[in-house]
Structure 1
Amino acid sequence: MHILFLTDNFPPEVNAPASRTFEHCREWVEAGHKVTVITCAPNFPAGKLFEGYKNRLFGRETMAGIDVVRVWSYITANEGFLRRTLDYVSFMLTATPASLAIARPDIVVATSPQFFTACAGYAVSRLRRVPFMFELRDLWPESIRAVGAMKESGLLTALEKLELFLYRKAATIVPVTHSFKAKLCERGVDPGKIHVVTNGADLQLFQRVSKDRELSESLGIQGKFVAGYIGTHGLAHALDTLLDAAVLLRDEGRDDIHLLFLGGGATRAALAERAEMLKLDNVTFLDSVPKAEVVRYWSLLDASVIHLRRTDLFTTVIPSKLFESMAMGIPVLHGVRGESADIVEREEAGLTFEPENPAELRDRLVRMAEDRPLCERLAQNGMAGARKYDRKYLARKMLHIIEDCAMKNSSRHKEEKALSDSDIRRK
């Protein structure tokens, strides 16, 4: 079977959509299928081309047996609603015709968070006369409203109508949370075509390792209890809460606790500037590093902080870094309500705190720093729980859904052809 996958994020980018797509596609290739990915030149999150790449109209490479087609897109940093939208739309406009230059697929899969990629997926499915599968990683454009990136307007209403159109036209929808499925069902989407495949972790890459002493010493954090935020610094993450907690810790003389930030995004520069203005010696900011280097930085952490804004929408999401933290045996400090908090509490892999509540975060940090047996118990529980979210298993689960969708489409075409032939014979 030939699977065509459309995504505007792919390695060497290291964000969650890129990792999930690559790890799934790699497993599908190993299962004996042909996989083609249409994506753009890597530039996320800084809006700068990665070394060795050009923003060309059409280019090809092979990664882990995956045929990767890279198309031109309008490149910009992960900030600013208008420019990011131009980025998304440009990818849609170039990915669609690029699909005609590859062998006919058996199915087209397109992934969010934004759905202009899904628009391209639907268009390609019509052009190539194959089923369209929508992988739903975010309830966009509802998330735009949740972070205040766009005011209520006719445009937002139009986007929501387009969103519902894509849900109706998709042969199958694969959301990453059960809460997303419930939301779609509430909006009238057929539950029979919705199949949940959660995020997970590559357990071959993310394993418990000893702390990198050399790196710890170079950063001046040896001997400290290090809590880290690793990932995109975006509007949705409300990371000022972590800085506010750092202020409380500093004012209380808790210089044994240090906060480490690694990554980039729309709010990264402002956060670093604020930390410098507040003279927070207990905070360190680091730029994004290649995926192969990320584990070294994870190893520095005694706790992983996961945080999103306090809004109803984010009760439906499960940040992928939760599973990476669990797999590495790093206790979680979880500031997200809803389905993901349920996982943390069910697996006993960390401590939860109220989103945007720096005092609660401070309290949890102090508790962990003063109770190392608690941390070890949470670490062991997390590693045991992570086995339920092994990316290999999840990739196979999604592959079964893809195969079923493609098979139903093939059977339907055969039935239609048989009926057509029968009509011809009767005439």
Structure 2
Amino acid sequence: MHILFLTDNFPPEVNAPASRTFEHCREWVNAGHRVTVITCAPNFPQGKVFSGYRNSFWQRETMDGIEVCRVWTYITANEGFVRRTLDYVSYMAMAVPASLRIAKPDVVIATSPQFFTACAGYLVGGLRRVPFIFELRDLWPESIRAVGAMKQSRVLDWLEKVELFLYRQATAVVSVTHSFKQNLDRRGIDPAKIFVVTNGADLSRFAPRPKDAELEEALGLKGKFVAGYIGTHGLAHALETLLDAARLLREAGRDDIHLLFLGDGASKAALRERAQELELTNVTFLDSVSKADVVRYWSLLDVSVIHLRNTDLFRTVIPSKLFECMAMGIPVLHGVRGESADIVNKERVGLTFEPENAEELRDKLVELSGNPDLRRQLAANCVEAAHKFDRAHLAQRMLQIVSDHVPGANAGQNIN
């Protein structure tokens, strides 16, 4: 089976969509299938093309057996609705004709969060006369409203109509959460065509390990209780709450508790400024690191903080870093309501707190820092629960769903 996958995020980018797509495609190649990915020059989230790449109309490379085709796009940083939309639309405009340069696939998969990629998938599916599968990672454009990136408008109303059209036209929809499936069901999409394959972690790469002594020394963290946020610093994450908790800890004389931020995003500069204004000596900001190095930084954490803005929409999401925390055996302080909090509580891998409540976050940090027995138990629960979210198994589940919707395909054999 020849699978064509459309995504505007792919390694060497290290965000959640890039990781999920790469790890799934790698497993499908290992299962004997041909996989071609159409993406763009790696540039997320700073809007700068990575070293060794160029923003050209056509580049090809092979990564772990995956055929990767990169097309030109309008590149901008992960900020500003209009510019980001131009970025998304340019990818769609280039990916569709680029697909005609590739041997005919048996199926095309297009992934959100931005659905212009899904638009491209629908068009390519029609042009090549093959099934189109929509991988649903985010309820876009509803998420635009949730973070206040754009006011209510006819444009958003029109985008939602296009969104529903794409769901209806897709041969199947693969959602990353059960809440998304329920949302589509309520909006009139046939539930029989919606399948759930959650995010997970690559257990061959994420596993418990001792603290990296060299990094710990270099960052001045030796002897500190380290709480870390690793990931995109975006509008949706409301990381000001973590800075407020750091301020409260400093005022309480708890300089032994240190907050580490690793990543980039639209809010990064403002967060740095705020930390300087508050004179927070118990906070460290680090830029993104390579996929290979990120586990070294995970190892520094005594607890991981996961946080999203306190809106109803984010009750439906499951931050993918939750599964990486489990795999690393790192307890979680979870400031997200809904389905993801249910996982934290059910698997007993951490403690939950109210989103955007800095006082409660402070209290939970103090509680965990003073209770090593609780941390050890939570860490053990993390490792046990991680096996339920092994990316290799999840990739096989999605492959079976794809195969079931391709006439004559078989998930266990290469029929190319």
Aligned to 1:315: 315
Aligned to 1:402: 402
Structure 2: tracts of 5 or more residues without a match = 411-416
- 1:73-122 Cα shifts (integer Å, max 9, x gaps): 00000011111000000000000000000000000000000100000000
What is the CA–CA distance in structure 2 between the aligned matches of 1:74 and 1:409, rounded to whole Å?
A: 36
Aligned to 1:151: 151
SS of match in other structure, 2:280: coil
**Superposition pairs of residues 141-220 of structure 1, within 5 angstroms:** 141-220=141-220
CA contact (8 A) 1:131 1:409 kept: no
Q: Number of matched residues? A: 410
Aligned to 1:4: 4
What is the CA–CA distance in structure 2 between the aligned matches of 1:157 and 1:261, rounded to whole Å?
A: 36
Aligned to 2:295: 295
Aligned to 1:81: 81
SS of match in other structure, 2:195: coil
For residue 153 of structure 1, what is the amino acid of its counterpart?
S
SS of match in other structure, 2:75: coil
What is the CA–CA distance in structure 2 between the aligned matches of 1:214 and 1:51, rounded to whole Å?
A: 26
Aligned to 1:128: 128
What is the CA–CA distance in structure 2 between the aligned matches of 1:15 and 1:304, rounded to whole Å?
A: 17
SS of match in other structure, 1:101: coil
RMSD, matched Cα: 0.9
Give 1:407 deviation, angstroms: 2.2
Distance 1:174 1:408, change over 3 A: farther
2:252 is the alignment partner of 1:247:
no
- 1:267-308 Cα shifts (integer Å, max 9, x gaps): 001001110111100000000000000000000000000000
2:133 is the alignment partner of 1:98:
no
What is the CA–CA distance in structure 2 between the aligned matches of 1:408 and 1:44, rounded to whole Å?
A: 38
Give 1:409 deviation, angstroms: 9.3
Aligned to 2:231: 231
Aligned to 2:56: 56
Rg larger in structure: 1
SS of match in other structure, 2:25: helix
CA contact (8 A) 2:147 2:236 kept: yes
Aligned to 2:393: 393
Q: Which runs of 4+ in 1 moved over 3 A?
A: none
SS of match in other structure, 2:3: strand
What is the CA–CA distance in structure 1 between the aligned matches of 2:393 and 2:409, rounded to whole Å?
A: 25
- 1:359-418 Cα shifts (integer Å, max 9, x gaps): 0000000000000110010000011001000000000000000100112799xxxxxxxx
CA contact (8 A) 1:208 1:329 kept: yes
For residue 291 of structure 1, what is the amino acid of its counterpart?
K
- For normalisation by structure 1, the TM-score amounts to 0.95
| Identity level (%) | 73
For residue 214 of structure 1, what is the amino acid of its counterpart?
E
What is the CA–CA distance in structure 2 between the aligned matches of 1:237 and 1:215, rounded to whole Å?
A: 26
CA contact (8 A) 1:36 1:66 kept: yes
What is the CA–CA distance in structure 2 between the aligned matches of 1:114 and 1:77, rounded to whole Å?
A: 15
What is the CA–CA distance in structure 2 between the aligned matches of 1:270 and 1:150, rounded to whole Å?
A: 19
SS of match in other structure, 2:207: coil
What is the CA–CA distance in structure 1 between the aligned matches of 2:275 and 2:152, rounded to whole Å?
A: 33
2:339 is the alignment partner of 1:361:
no
SS of match in other structure, 1:195: strand
2:347 is the alignment partner of 1:381:
no
Aligned to 1:140: 140
What is the CA–CA distance in structure 2 between the aligned matches of 1:292 and 1:353, rounded to whole Å?
A: 31
Aligned to 2:414: none
Aligned to 1:325: 325
Aligned to 1:413: none
For residue 126 of structure 1, what is the amino acid of its counterpart?
G
CA contact (8 A) 2:403 2:409 kept: no
Distance 1:370 1:69, change over 3 A: same
What is the CA–CA distance in structure 1 between the aligned matches of 2:157 and 2:345, rounded to whole Å?
A: 37
2:65 is the alignment partner of 1:65:
yes
Aligned to 1:16: 16
CA contact (8 A) 2:3 2:33 kept: yes
What is the CA–CA distance in structure 1 between the aligned matches of 2:407 and 2:369, rounded to whole Å?
A: 54
CA contact (8 A) 2:335 2:352 kept: yes
SS of match in other structure, 1:323: helix
CA contact (8 A) 2:326 2:386 kept: yes
- 1:150-203 Cα shifts (integer Å, max 9, x gaps): 111110100000000000000000000000000000000000100000000000
What is the CA–CA distance in structure 2 between the aligned matches of 1:12 and 1:251, rounded to whole Å?
A: 40
CA contact (8 A) 2:44 2:78 kept: yes
Give 1:221 deviation, angstroms: 1.0
- 1:224-272 Cα shifts (integer Å, max 9, x gaps): 0000000000000000000000000000000110000000000001001
SS of match in other structure, 2:292: helix
